[in-house]
Structure 1
């Protein structure tokens, strides 16, 4: 896969520098100490969900797999590290041959998660695993935050489609990633052509207020758009007077007009007035699209309005107030030597201050009630209880360095819809509350 497909500028040859320097300094010290090749297990999880959120959404897994495949220290990268004295020559020699050869397991993309869920597990030598920390976290934290916001918005929208249109409100590369994550979370289309090109997401777009202002009359702008795009186009009707614009739009396009877009004002009131006017003009099939800084709460407030689709930008690409999931990447087990047969020993941070973690290589399963609805996220070490063996959540993503779990983007999107439907009904409530199901821990008993 080339860098353009990753959403990277074409002059960036690899993902190897999407990292923090301390990962390379740890590598250098571990190589010198003889501990770099110890078999290790790192896990990605979050200690808590963002305030008020009932569940999280795993997104970005496919991008992580691409990033791992493209994590290569090519000559230009090695030259940069040498010229800036970031690592010594022994470490540079090791990096020149770097290829991740371990295993990665994780929640499948689109699945929901909860506090403590081991959403990704990276296994291999300490050296090869520790280098992936930053790129894995930067992708999962961003994409999962956007997908969670998208999921809440799509739940609030019900059967009405959602258009992702936030490219102008964020960095140009994060805009592409955000469109992808939004699609996983339930959005149906994007305005971002790069996202359409790289990920096959359906794209849409018509015109802005500037197009209307370009012309001498609003009628001229509408006529030009209809002449170019056909009667099924969407005309923006709030540049001047909405009622006059709707009347003109139907006169120009006829009752076959595809849709009108409203981008300002009291959307609930205006939508009702526009719907009545369209019906009176005979344009009963003309749809109404609303935009204007929508979030999940605004979308929910429009549930009773005659709205056919929503366009969402700023609030979506900023995670609707929670732009990160606070996921961490922690060493949870390691061997005591480089011998590949050496057993793994659980390790965990034990300091005070709320940042403790639980050691040991973990599995996760979702327990269902008698109606088949999720009632607990069960995370444990050691043998999986018999009743949960068929409900395990982690799947193999990378085996021996080879990606084994690529899938079309529609698959995680459908998976998320199914996973969300399997949660208690309170999961879709927008009021603040605790995670919709608790996380329970099952520890392996010694002796």
Structure 2
């Protein structure tokens, strides 16, 4: 696969754990490395109290697979440090994924034990993907799941992702992408903008006001440079004085004011009243300041037009990982026949066998169950929806899942899936999964 996104980034092959390659070496020695295998990524449970999760990261993952190769630098490191032997190095020098990858499309809701990603290939090809695959899916799905809850709490008011300064630089790009998939309006992160065609926004921080001798001079400079449609940060000193100065300088076409501290509910209410009294009925109010879904819900009654969300979003709002795992569920025996395999530990049980997934819908098109067929496709009664889509066929990336096109497609998938789920998903109170996962065996 060639790089579909068109930017330079580190080779993905060493974003992995040491033991993936020692397993490869040992399986090459035993001869089992080339057995056809089926691996599955899933989450045994949702974060405590959450009712659903949102899949994100698949597009980034597929983009990374394009560079999942072992070049001279990687091979030299692995040989020089004794990670693997020469036979394994020879295998890695010619490594190329040639299998198939299926999964839930980005933006789709998932539930406990949903088969979110299925990798079908040889054991050697598939086992090395584990760490990279899980690091992407766990991070991005955690962000998208939190973002989806925030969007639900916000109703029709737009949310802006602005958490880049609270996480790793690459995580910031991934978080912006995941947030937009889950319905965020835009991001402050320019790298996310250029990579994925995401709308970027931003005006000024408190430092810009503090740079100038007076707040009025700062506002004058911003308006002169960015136009009267800009948004002015009005809580550096005295909010009322700042709002009055902003209206005096920009007039009724002032785009917006931003509040970043204090009692946001009370402050937004009297700022709205003041703006209206001054003739600025169309000037919008944006609030920031460590918002999460609960703070956004508390602001529902306040005259707020948009929310800027940072730290809580990029850390998953209390659930920084989706806790997905990647397990071998089926492989061929010496005769070439597929057999189901599964870990049997009491507290970490897995269900063996290749999975197929269907979302059961009632006569009103509302989801009632997640049906997972083991070794067979569940029967569609006419209005149900198959969940698995193919992303890679015989090692070749299928079109439509990456880059800007992938983000647009995933954003629509999220909107559609949320409309399909029962209304319980709109509640922020702790509860069980919105719909049960039911296994069907042959």
User: TM-score band, normalised by the shorter chain?
Assistant: over 0.9
Distance in 2 of aligned mates of 1:115 and 1:383? 19
TM-score between the two structures when normalised by the length of structure 1: 0.96
Distance in 1 of aligned mates of 2:4 and 2:35? 31
| Counterpart pick for 1:410 among 408, 413, 431 | 408
Equivalence map 1:3-402=2 (5 Å): 8=9, 12=10, 14-337=11-334, 342-352=336-346, 354-387=347-380, 391-402=385-396
How many residue pairs end up in the alignment?
436
Distance 1:385 1:148, change over 3 A: closer
State the shift of 1:336 in Å: 1.0
Q: Secondary structure at the match of 1:129?
A: helix
State the shift of 1:2 in Å: 5.1
- Contact 2:357–2:378 (Cα < 8 Å) also in 1: no
Distance 1:146 1:7, change over 3 A: farther
Distance in 2 of aligned mates of 1:6 and 1:72? 16
- Contact 2:372–2:378 (Cα < 8 Å) also in 1: no
Q: Which runs of 5+ in 2 are unaligned?
A: none
Distance in 2 of aligned mates of 1:334 and 1:2? 30
- Contact 1:396–1:405 (Cα < 8 Å) also in 2: no
Residues 279-300 of structure 1: CA distance to partner in whole angstroms, max 9, x if unpaired? Answer: 1111111000000000000001
Q: Paired residue for 1:432?
A: 430
Residues 68-111 of structure 1: CA distance to partner in whole angstroms, max 9, x if unpaired? Answer: 12100011111111111100000000000001000000001111
State the shift of 1:318 in Å: 0.2
Distance in 1 of aligned mates of 2:176 and 2:440? 37
Q: Secondary structure at the match of 2:61?
A: helix
- Flag as ranges the 4+ runs of structure 1 deviating above 6 A: none
Distance in 1 of aligned mates of 2:399 and 2:105? 9
Q: Secondary structure at the match of 1:307?
A: coil
Q: Which runs of 5+ in 1 are unaligned?
A: none
State the shift of 1:6 in Å: 6.3
Distance in 1 of aligned mates of 2:356 and 2:7? 30
- Contact 1:52–1:433 (Cα < 8 Å) also in 2: yes
Distance 1:2 1:364, change over 3 A: closer
- Contact 2:5–2:63 (Cα < 8 Å) also in 1: no
State the shift of 1:381 in Å: 1.1
Distance in 2 of aligned mates of 1:232 and 1:329? 49
Distance 1:15 1:325, change over 3 A: same
Q: Secondary structure at the match of 1:255?
A: helix
- Contact 1:398–1:405 (Cα < 8 Å) also in 2: no
State the shift of 1:406 in Å: 2.6
Distance 1:388 1:140, change over 3 A: farther
Distance 1:319 1:36, change over 3 A: same
Distance in 2 of aligned mates of 1:383 and 1:129? 22
Distance in 1 of aligned mates of 2:226 and 2:294? 33
Q: Secondary structure at the match of 1:116?
A: coil
TM-score between the two structures when normalised by the length of structure 2: 0.97
Distance 1:274 1:252, change over 3 A: same
State the shift of 1:371 in Å: 1.7
State the shift of 1:52 in Å: 1.0
Superposed CA RMSD in Å reads 1.3
- Contact 1:133–1:329 (Cα < 8 Å) also in 2: yes
State the shift of 1:391 in Å: 2.1
- Contact 1:7–1:177 (Cα < 8 Å) also in 2: no
Distance in 2 of aligned mates of 1:379 and 1:410? 27
